């Protein structure tokens, strides 16, 4: 399993989970920044996700989501994160393929 993290530099501006093609067969994401708790929720979606539309999934601080892939493989570059509060973020883990 590989682990990573992503911080949203400016609330309302989505960032890619990873910046290079990264194929995964399993993924979990937690609403938590490295070394501490988030102030607000984070939002997981595609490149149009923002803190007002909350696509796919909203994660409160400390809440985690095991993304249901059902045997599929996804590219983590297709997953974007936004936050209600600047400098909040996520930690994540995945199985690379």
What CATH number belongs to 2-96? 2.60.120
Averaged over 41-66, what is the pLDDT? Answer: 89
Q: What is the pTM of this model?
A: 0.92
Q: Where are the beta strands (DSSP E) in the chain?
A: 2-7, 15-16, 23-30, 42-45, 57-59, 64-67, 74-75, 80-83, 89-96
pLDDT of 17-47, one tens digit each?
999 999 999 999 999 998 889 999 999 999 9
Query: What integer pLDDT is reported at residue 61 of this predicted model?
Result: 94
Look at 35 and 96; give whichever has higher pLDDT. Answer: 96
């Amino acid at each position: 399993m590989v682990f990573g993290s992503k911080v949203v530099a400016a609330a309302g501006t989505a960032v890619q989970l990873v910046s290079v093609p990264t194929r995964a067969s399993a993924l979990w994401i937690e609403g938590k920044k490295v070394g501490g708790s988030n102030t607000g929720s984070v939002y997981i979606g595609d490149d149009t996700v923002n803190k007002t539309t909350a696509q796919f999934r909203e994660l409160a601080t400390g809440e985690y989501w095991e993304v249901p892939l059902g045997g599929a493989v996804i590219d983590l570059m297709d997953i974007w994160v936004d936050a209600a509060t600047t400098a909040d973020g996520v930690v994540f883990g995945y199985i690379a393929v």
